[in-house]
């Protein structure tokens, strides 16, 4: 598995397994077991997904060494602030049945993120978290938190897919030595992404699937990518992306697909913020 270097000296796999929207807990547990056995080392979950306990059971059942895994979870908006973050983190750790996390993220840029960040800095000093980072922070929020705290975020996880490529945000993260990570690389299949003519032609050129092309488009540019599946054969297919290279012309063709709009919601939209704040 290819890796990327984080600004704190740690490394992480460039491709991993996500468990968002696997609501059936037995299915989530089995999916984690299957993913690890397929060769995944990065497992990404979150407090708000409601399946951290299932993920922990899956990790335990998989029977691999802890140091061979890179486990990420995320803090939800209802638990921002110093004390609440400390408490929420300990709950996450207990559910996952782990002694430490490789990466812990503030899931949304709302609430007392400064208090949360100070708690995460302290947890990192205590050895309970190896790397700390953010999720869904736009560049202005990202630099704001970076400039007024002791520890720079190691990573920022944002929506990146062919319809919403976010080159300006990615370039800014590169300038700040903050690792970009992509959620929803397949845009949940919106706008017929899996049958798109451009992507299909590129896939045919390499005898690969459209999904594999999208994942390679990300990982080839050292953007960490996450993909979800409950089917072992699809897990294996998604992982089989490191034996081909997209050409400059193919990368340019994919760049031309950018719609420059979120396929989900705008994190700066007041209505979206209010909706997220109401979720528990």
Question: CB of 263 within 8 A of CB of 165?
Answer: no
Find the length of the chain: 280
State the Cα–Cα distance between residues 239 and 15, nearest whole angstrom: 8
Q: Encoding tokens for residue 155?
A: 């990573």
Q: How many CB atoms lie within 10 A of CB 269?
A: 12
Question: CB of 7 within 8 A of CB of 154?
Answer: yes
Residue with tokens 């719609």: 259
Helix (H, G, I), strand (E, B) or coil at 64: coil
φ/ψ (deg, to 5) at 111: 80, -165
According to DSSP, residue 243 is labeled S
Rg (CA), the chain: 18
Q: Which residue among 40, 49, 82, 100 is the active-site one?
A: 49
Kindly give, in sequence order, each residue whose CB lies less than 8 Å from that of residue 261, ignoring residues fewer than 6 positions away. 163, 164
Active site residue 49: yes
Query: Which residues are marked as active site?
Result: 49
């Amino acid at each position: 598995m290819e890796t990327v270097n984080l600004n704190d000296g740690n490394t992480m796999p460039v491709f991993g397994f996500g468990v968002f929207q696997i609501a059936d807990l037995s299915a989530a547990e089995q999916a984690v077991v299957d993913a690890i056995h397929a060769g995944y080392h990065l497992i990404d979950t979150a407090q708000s997904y409601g399946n951290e306990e299932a993920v922990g059971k899956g990790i335990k059942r998989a029977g691999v060494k802890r140091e061979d895994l890179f486990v990420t979870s995320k803090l939800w908006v209802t638990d921002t602030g110093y004390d609440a973050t400390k408490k929420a983190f300990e709950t996450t750790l207990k559910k996952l049945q782990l002694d430490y996390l490789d990466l812990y993220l503030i899931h949304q840029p709302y609430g007392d993120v400064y208090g949360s960040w100070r708690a995460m800095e302290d947890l990192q000093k205590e050895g309970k978290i190896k790397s700390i980072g953010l999720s869904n922070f736009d560049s202005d929020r990202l630099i704001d938190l970076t400039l007024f705290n002791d520890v720079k975020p190691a990573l920022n996880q944002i929506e990146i897919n062919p319809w919403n490529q976010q080159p300006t945000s990615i370039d800014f993260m590169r300038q700040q030595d903050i690792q970009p990570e992509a959620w929803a690389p397949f845009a949940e299949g919106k706008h017929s992404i899996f049958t798109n003519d451009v992507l299909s032609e590129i896939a045919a050129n390499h005898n690969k699937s459209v999904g594999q092309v999208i994942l390679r488009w990300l990982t080839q540019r050292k953007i960490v990518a996450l993909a979800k599946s409950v089917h072992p054969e699809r897990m294996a297919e998604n992982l089989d992306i490191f034996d081909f290279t997209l050409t400059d012309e193919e990368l340019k063709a994919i760049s031309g697909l950018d719609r420059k709009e979120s396929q989900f919601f705008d994190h700066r939209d007041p209505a979206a913020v209010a909706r997220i704040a109401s979720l528990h």
